[in-house]
Amino acid sequence: MNSSSIKILGTLYSPFVRRILLFTAHHKIVVDTKFFTNILDNKFPEILQNNPAHQVPILIDEKDQKTIYDSRLIAMYLMDKFHINKFTFEEEQFLYLINLVNDSAVQLLLHERHGLSSIEGGKKIKIKLLERIENSLTYIHQNINQFENWNFCSISLYCLLDWITFRKIYDWECEGSESKFSGFHHFMKKNTSQLNVSETNPRNFI
């Protein structure tokens, strides 16, 4: 049995957690995992102790006595520790957009769950969030050739696109591969066989 000094606290559905699981698998970094359920409705002392914002993923490196939260910072920590190429400035910019789309999608999901999309103010916020998602994804799609390599940036895009489909938040798949996002179809298809992608498919855990 593998045991690692690195532990990842997460949930089975989070696209932010999945990024770290794909990134560590790709670089053959052994991690232990601990998954929580329903963290939006429950407060978990172990999460709160390690991240005051009560969000996952959280990395705990027992050997080096470090606790890191936020997936981008976790990736940077691992890059440093395992001598993996750091982000380029362009990748950082794409990652910023991917994170923004992901956060907007999480907010949309919460809006729907709490029925806010059916009230006037809520409708306006929904339109704004959807506009941001659409514009940012269109821009990323125009630059899809920058996502040829399987690195933290493309892994994050994969997890985002799959998650917004899974949660039915934004239908980038539209009319199949002929859609305006045809480059995303190609990107997703090409990467479905990457390490740990099928094992971390959130649909497995419903």
Ligand X SMILES: N[C@@H](CCC(=O)N[C@@H](CS)C(=O)NCC(=O)O)C(=O)O
Interaction site with ligand X (CB under 6 A) = 14, 16, 39-40, 54-57, 70-72, 106
Distances (CA, A) of 4 to 46, 67, 81, 185: 19, 15, 14, 36
Select 84 or 109, whichever has its Cβ closest to ligand X. 109
Select 71 or 104, whichever has its Cβ closest to ligand X. 71
Least Å from the CB of residue 178 to ligand X: 31
Least Å from the CB of residue 176 to ligand X: 28
Q: Which residue has the tokens 């969000």?
A: 55
- Alpha carbons 87 and 110: distance in angstroms, whole number: 31
Select 167 or 190, whichever has its Cβ closest to ligand X. 167
Select 93 or 182, whichever has its Cβ closest to ligand X. 93
Residues 146, 98 contacting (CB under 8 angstroms): no
- Alpha carbons 141 and 124: distance in angstroms, whole number: 26
Task: Name the DSSP class of 67.
Answer: E
Quickly count: other Cβ atoms within 10 Å of residue 93's Cβ: 14
Q: Are strands 6-10 and 32-35 parallel, antiparallel or unpaired?
A: parallel
Structure tokens at 82: 């395992």
Least Å from the CB of residue 52 to ligand X: 11
Least Å from the CB of residue 50 to ligand X: 12
Select 109 or 183, whichever has its Cβ closest to ligand X. 109
Least Å from the CB of residue 115 to ligand X: 19
Question: Is there a cis peptide before residue 57, judged by omega within 30 degrees of 0?
Answer: yes
